[in-house]
Structure 1
Amino acid sequence: MRIVLALGGNALLARGQALTAENQRENIKKAAASIAAIAKEHEIVVVHGNGPQVGLLMEQNSAYQEYSPETTPYPMDVLGSQTCGMVGYMLQQELRNVDRELAIATLVTQTEVSKEDPAFANPTKFVGPVYTEERAKEIMASSDMMFKADGDYFRRVVPSPKPKDIVELQQVETLLKASNLVIACGGGGVPVCFDDNRIGTGVECVIDKDLTAELLAEKINADLFIILTDGSVYRNFGKEDQAEMKQATPAGLAEFNFPAGSMGPKIDAVCQFVNSGRGNAAIGSLFDLDRITRNEAGTLITQGEGIVYY
């Protein structure tokens, strides 16, 4: 099978862990072991998150500018590409350490977004460090950055437009046909817009990683699209009557309200792929990956009606 894997943030950093290279390396070793276990039997593309990593670089940029005011912070598209290289490097090295026969390639990938996307008119995605209201207003007065209240502090907000196209799609296909395990579209891809002459320019925004992974799965005609996160999809998660779903359909999932800040976007992404008619999708734990491909763990999303529980 041709499989697109969307790696959630927990694959790189457990909740509450410090964002050190050592911690990320240890978690990536575990992710690599799970992915390598299925890599010889299937064509694999891995799409990873990079939110915490970009946030850390933004804080480091901000701290350095205080020391050197003439050194302006790097834009988000540049920071995104930096973290794609870093995470991709760790993943491909640890995958090779698990199985030296694997051919692995990391591709820094640009994702096209539309200048007309309504998200640009209403930035809502929080990024970077926290500021006092006074400092946030100072920055807004001297730049085009926008800040909004996030609890007791203020944080920068940027647009989160939908992915329109994947620029290096042909390169992904070429690498797959050459029997590579491909790491691509990290963090949703480096966001770019194109003018009428198809000249590309980086954009200050954040693209949802799961939506880009879904688009990639459609574009390369994947047989299976898997979002790897903390676990399966549940009915009434966290309540006394919670129930783990073994198999579900877009129609069945539409009967539930999933939180916009956690499972909601993942449900939207897998349902979009299944509705495209190209194949099935699944949501489950990274450490059940081998069993997810055999429908023995996680939640499989297929066409049809109804929900089956474990």
Structure 2
Amino acid sequence: MAKIVVALGGNALGNSPEEQLKLVENTAKSLIALVQKGNEVVISHGNGPQVGSINLGLNYAAEHEQGPPFPFPECGAMSQAYIGYQLQQSLQNELHNLGIEKPVVTLVTQTVVDRDDEAFSNPTKPIGMFYDKELADTIAKERHYTFVEDSGRGYRRVVPSPQPIEIVELPSIETLINAGNLVISAGGGGIPVVKDDNGDLHGVDAVIDKDKSSALLGAELKSDQLIILTAVDYIYINFGKDNQEQLKDVTVDEMKKYIDEGQFAKGSMLPKVEASIQFIENNPKGEVIITSLDKLDDALEGKVGTVIKK
């Protein structure tokens, strides 16, 4: 039996609630297959597209006097519940269909960050939908947003992405796991919070990279594996070029060398690689698998995906 943290990419979950639900239902079968083998599984997920859409929609309504504006911490909480609901329901249905008695719970999770993190003055985390340059420039001017080109797929808004320091609900997550629950937690990297001088928590406007929070969670739980599910089957070097190459079995040192070469795009693959390294360096016996959402079964059999070890 292994302890496994599975991180689902927000971009890999689709562009609408209907599309997301369909993808989640298919993924639930693979996730429950892990449970059937006796593994302890904790699921996290991204929320970049979803939290951006929630924030944009609510603020649009506020600008037209149809409701109050909502800051990012509250939007992050909404996205945790929305994505967690679909995951939780799909997992419950799959367990029911297989005749397996196992409770599933989504835990709204906060993640502590440093209020002085330099990320607050250098936004890099892509959120929301993809736009062409003309529309991105128009929205940026109207709303004072920052947009960047995202891996050849269009332009997306970027927000601060501070480093996760502490998972506030970690003791609750451990308690739920030990009680036999299948736990969904740290959604969207967790709601970013800072501690004041008295130790009280306060939400801040940011989106934490979910892979880095998942790496922190996995290391704290002493997980055997961190599985990062995204939109591609492998990590690549020379991505998009004639000499593009799949990475299959690699070490932490090799991945550090590729980072130094600038092989991985900021805001997309680079945070996943950095999170993988952090997980292994804080948990040397663990390994990371990175592959696409629909290839989880093949990845677990060693047929596809990038495997990173110390």
1:147 counterpart (145, 167, 189):
145
Partner residue in 1 for 2:195: 194
Moved more, 111-120 or 153-162: 153-162
Tell me, yes or no, if structure 1 residue 57 matches structure 2 residue 54.
Answer: yes
1:2 maps onto 2:3 in alignment: yes
Q: Determine the C-alpha separation between the residues in 2 that align with 1:135 and 1:286.
A: 31
**1:121 positional shift:** 3.0
- Rate the CA distance shift 1:147–1:158 in 2: closer, same or farther, 3 A: same
Mapped contact 2:123–2:158 kept (Cα < 8 A): yes
More displaced 10-residue stretch of structure 1: 261-270 or 204-213: 261-270
Using the size of structure 1 for normalisation, the TM-score is 0.85
Partner of 1:275: 281
Tell me how far 1:62 sits from its aligned partner: 2.3
1:1-310 equivalence runs, <5 A? 1-13=2-14, 19-40=15-36, 41-68=38-65, 71-100=67-96, 101=100, 102-127=102-127, 147-148=145-146, 150=148, 157-229=158-230, 230-256=232-258, 257-276=263-282, 277-303=284-310
* Amino acid in the other structure paired with 2:34: I
Describe the shift of the 1:135–1:20 C-alpha distance in structure 2 as closer, same or farther (beyond 3 A).
Answer: closer
Question: Distance in 1 between the 2:223 and 2:208 partners?
Answer: 21
For 2:265 and 2:156, the matched residues in 1 are separated by 22
Q: 1:147–1:154: 8 Å Cα contact kept in structure 2? A: no
Q: Which has the larger radius of gyration?
A: 1
* Deviating more after overlay: 211-220 vs 129-138: 129-138
Residues 3, 45 of structure 1: 8 Å contact kept: yes
Gaps in structure 1 of 5+ consecutive residues: 14-18, 140-145, 304-310
Structure 1 residues 205-231: Cα deviation after superposition (integer angstroms, max 9, x where no partner)? 111110000000111111111111121
| Matched residue type, 1:147 | Y
SS in structure 2 of the partner of residue 116 of structure 1? coil
Secondary structure of the residue aligned to 1:30 is helix
Superposed structure 1 runs of 4+ greater than 6 Å apart: 129-135, 153-156
2 CA distance for matches of 1:22 and 1:135? Answer: 26
Indicate if the aligned counterparts of 2:10 and 2:50 stay in contact, CA closer than 8 A.
Answer: no
C-alpha separation between the residues in 2 aligned to 1:135 and 1:297?
40
Q: TM-score, normalised by structure 2?
A: 0.85
* Distance in 2, Cα, partners of 1:87 & 1:127: 15
Secondary structure class of the residue paired with 1:255: helix
Counting aligned pairs with the same residue, the percent is 42
Question: Displacement, 1:98?
Answer: 1.2
**Do 1:148 and 1:154's aligned partners in 2 also have CA atoms closer than 8 Å?**
no
Instruction: Report how far residue 274 of structure 1 moved.
Output: 1.7
**Aligned partner letter, 1:234:** Y
Letter of the structure 2 residue corresponding to residue 274 of structure 1:
I
Residues of 2 paired with 1:231 and 1:134: CA distance? 35
Q: What is the distance in 2 between the residues matched to 1:56 and 1:35?
A: 27
- My pick for the range that moved more, 28-37 or 206-215, is 28-37
Amino acid in structure 2 at the alignment position of 1:23? E
Q: Secondary structure at 1:74's aligned position in 2? A: coil
In 2, Cα distance between equivalents of 1:150 and 1:253? 25
Question: What number of residue pairs does the alignment pair up?
Answer: 290
Structure 1 residues 99 and 233, CA gap change in structure 2 (3 angstroms): same
